[in-house]
Amino acid sequence: MSHLSVNEKLTEVCEWLQSSLPTYNWVGFYFANHAERTLHLKAFAGVPTDHTVIPFGKGICGQVAESNANFVVDDVKAQDNYIACSIYVKAEIVIPLFKNGKNMGQIDIDSHTPNAFTKEDEQFLEWVNSKVAAIL
């Protein structure tokens, strides 16, 4: 994998997660531009989304950019501050990605299955993000 660019490696991670786990229907990495307070989609696997730039504070992703905390959504319909990417999405998980203590962005996963994400997914994705931080 060492010959791949960072973006290519991130795409490989997205494709690996999306193809390995049946409830991970869309997987993407957003990275923060702290000066502009926006998140930018760098890599993904699944259906292309219109939401490639998300302001801090907007949607689940934008809230995590400000809170620095994991956000697990069992039912997206119950969320007021939510950006819909597909009518099929029922649940979502967003885990911030830290490098040297700084919130660099996040991994965002959408599921067509309600209540798809557990504490184990949180712990697993924190581990994935720690590995990804090492190649940034």
* Choices 5-13, 16-24, 46-54, 118-126 (CB under 6 A): range interacting with ligand SME: 46-54
Q: In the stretch 55-94, what mask flags binding to ligand SME with x, by CB under 6 A?
A: ----xxxx-------------------xx-x------x--
Q: H-helix or E-strand containing 76?
A: none
Query: Least distance from C-beta 3 to ligand SME, angstroms?
Result: 29
Query: Cβ neighbours of residue 108 under 8 Å, at least 6 residues apart?
Result: 26, 27, 28, 29, 30, 60, 61, 92, 93, 94
Binding residues for ligand SME, rule CB under 6 A, total 15
Q: H-helix or E-strand containing 93?
A: strand 91-99
How many residues are recorded in the chain?
Answer: 136
The residues of the shown chain that bind ligand SME, judged by CB under 6 A, are 26, 28, 49, 51, 54, 59-62, 82-83, 85, 92, 108, 110
